[in-house]
Structure 1
Amino acid sequence: MDIRTTTLVWAPRILSVLRIVAALLFLEHGTQKILGFPGHPNPPVLLSLSGIAGLLELIGGALLLVGLFSRPVAFLLSGEMAFAYFIAHAPHSIFPVLNGGDAAILFCFVFLHIAVSGPGSLSIDAVRANGSMR
């Protein structure tokens, strides 16, 4: 196999792996805020800022995990992470390593990449578009 064939075959699969891993990590934040697992005994009021963020993380993370409505969901979550960074992290320090915002920045740009590139070949969106997983 040459590099072009390898890229054509593996790039959509690896994009799916990136989406799935990012969604699992993101979903964990939603389950912690909304369901109290793992280790968050006091869930926020659902219509508070933290509650809405938790719902976005829980529902959006689940949708991204299976690859359903991936582009609009990823775009929405990218915006949520940008908002979270500037509201919760940036006021503490200009440096992400000091303000704890590195994960928010990474999630923001990974989700932006998924919004632009799509969910990859291993997704419900791909099955809906092509009729099968390739």
Structure 2
Amino acid sequence: MPVPPTSGHLHRAQPYALGLFRIVVGLLFACHGVASLFGVLGRDGSVGAGTWPGWYAAVIQLVAGGLVMLGVGTRSASLVASGSMAYAYFVVHQPESLFPMTNGGEASAMFCWAFLLLVFTGPGALALDSVFGRRTTGDPDRAGQTPVTV
């Protein structure tokens, strides 16, 4: 089966698309944390400091979202974020109803799966981890993958 001529361009753009996905998902997650902690961005009031599980969830959202957005420790931060969203879905939302559309857990489910994807794919391009203290090969096909130390 012939390969479309655009597939090479799409393949080369994949790390950048993944990097953009990581940045947007991290930013949105961090915004949830900021809104919960400080009562801003359309949220009335904030969660009380140290209250379980709201305050801890908000701190995870802010810190993990920021790290993912910047591309610092992306896989680890994504694993923590994914786990916290799985907890939110199964403990907070799922007891209300089985389906996310009726139990209000759509955001938790989507964030859980988006972060789980980042655990396995890594940060993509434009991550700060690739800038700090490591030289990488100049191979554009490896952009966004684990750098090869030279």
Q: TM-score, normalised by structure 2?
A: 0.80
Q: Name the counterpart of 1:73.
A: 77
User: Deviation digits for residues 2-31 of structure 1, max 9, x if unmatched?
Assistant: 444323311100001111111111111100
Structure 1's consecutive aligned runs of 4 or more residues displaced over 3 angstroms after TM superposition are: 1-4, 128-134
1:21 equivalent in alignment to 2:7? no
CA distance in 1, matches of 2:70, 2:79: 16
Contact 2:37 2:55 in 1 (8 A): yes
Match of 2:104 among 100, 103, 113: 100
Match of 1:90 among 80, 90, 94: 94
Contact 2:35 2:46 in 1 (8 A): no
Q: Which amino acid aligns with 1:118?
A: G
1:124 equivalent in alignment to 2:131? no
Which structure 2 residue ranges, 5 or more long, are not aligned?
Answer: 144-150
Computed over aligned residues only, the root mean square deviation of the Cα atoms, in angstroms, reads: 2.1
Which structure 1 residue ranges, 5 or more long, are not aligned?
Answer: none
Match of 1:115 among 96, 116, 119: 119
Q: TM-score, normalised by structure 1?
A: 0.89
What percent of counterpart residues are identical?
A: 32
Contact 1:119 1:126 in 2 (8 A): no
The count of corresponding residues between Structure 1 and Structure 2 is 134
Contact 1:33 1:44 in 2 (8 A): no
Give the structure with the larger helix fraction: 1
